[in-house]
């Protein structure tokens, strides 16, 4: 049975208002403080001509690609996504699917670059592996996750944005709203 549109909007609004932001190993901070910190870090990355890497699976991969393009075009920020099918399948076949993001990050990421990891479940092994690789390389890590509050990436980032969304639709829509807010703040 379809949900009425006004109920859907209300549920989305409630989900977005429930955004939780935690620094790594820290106490929860307000969404405004977390977003302002993320914006400031990104502006510093632009000034230092560093790179923002974005990763995700499925719809989250589409968001990673979308926001990488918008950041590059609208804000003049160097971005990188790993969407080359030949690269993905070569790594998945020759190493493992779990390494499709970690392996290229090890080759391209520099200390001080940023990784934005988008995962509705927060438990995708390739996303977890990518986050851990970025940590070992000295990158700044931002995570966006949903669904299970105890998901694997929720405490791994320097800033962790968690939405208590019970469905992929709400999780992905909320993540897109958060990413648009962040990206819009970067425009020159």
Q: What is the mean pLDDT of the chain?
A: 95
Do residues 162 and 20 touch, judged by C-beta distance below 8 A?
Answer: yes
Question: What is the predicted pLDDT for the residue at 87?
Answer: 95
| Best CA proximity match to 101, nearest among 177, 24, 153, 49 | 153
User: Does residue 90 carry a pLDDT above 80?
Assistant: yes
Confidence of residue 188 (pLDDT cuts 50, 70, 90): low
Question: What is the predicted pLDDT for the residue at 79?
Answer: 98
Question: What is the predicted pLDDT for the residue at 8?
Answer: 87
Per residue in 131-164, pLDDT (tens digit) is 999 999 999 999 999 999 999 999 999 999 999 9
Per residue in 8-46, pLDDT (tens digit) is 899 999 999 999 999 987 899 999 999 999 999 999 999
Question: What is the predicted pLDDT for the residue at 26?
Answer: 81
Cα angle: 17, vertex 23, 26; to 5 degrees: 105
Question: What is the predicted pLDDT for the residue at 1?
Answer: 59
Rounded to two decimals, what is the model's pTM?
A: 0.95
**Domains by residue range for the chain, with CATH:** 50-184 (3.40.50.10490)
Per residue in 99-129, pLDDT (tens digit) is 999 999 999 999 999 999 999 999 999 999 9
| CA distances in angstroms from 144 to 9, 34, 44, listed in the order given | 21, 12, 20
């Amino acid at each position: 049975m379809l949900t009425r549109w006004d109920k859907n909007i209300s549920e989305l609004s409630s989900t977005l208002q429930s955004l939780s932001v935690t620094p790594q190993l820290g106490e929860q901070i307000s969404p405004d403080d977390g977003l302002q910190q993320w914006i400031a870090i990104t502006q510093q990355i632009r000034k230092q001509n560093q790179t923002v890497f974005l990763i995700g699976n499925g719809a989250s991969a589409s968001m990673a690609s979308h926001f990488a393009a918008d950041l590059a075009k609208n804000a003049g920020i160097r971005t990188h996504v790993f969407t080359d099918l030949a690269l993905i399948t070569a790594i998945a076949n020759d190493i493992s699917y779990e390494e499709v993001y970690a392996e290229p990050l090890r080759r391209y990421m520099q200390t001080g670059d940023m990784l934005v990891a988008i995962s509705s479940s927060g438990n995708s092994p390739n996303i977890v592996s990518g986050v851990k690789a970025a940590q070992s390389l000295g990158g700044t890590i931002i995570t966006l996750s949903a669904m299970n509050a105890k998901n694997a990436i929720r405490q791994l980032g320097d800033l962790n944005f968690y939405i208590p969304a019970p469905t992929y639709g709400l999780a992905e829509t909320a993540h897109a709203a958060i990413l648009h807010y962040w990206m819009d703040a970067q425009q020159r």
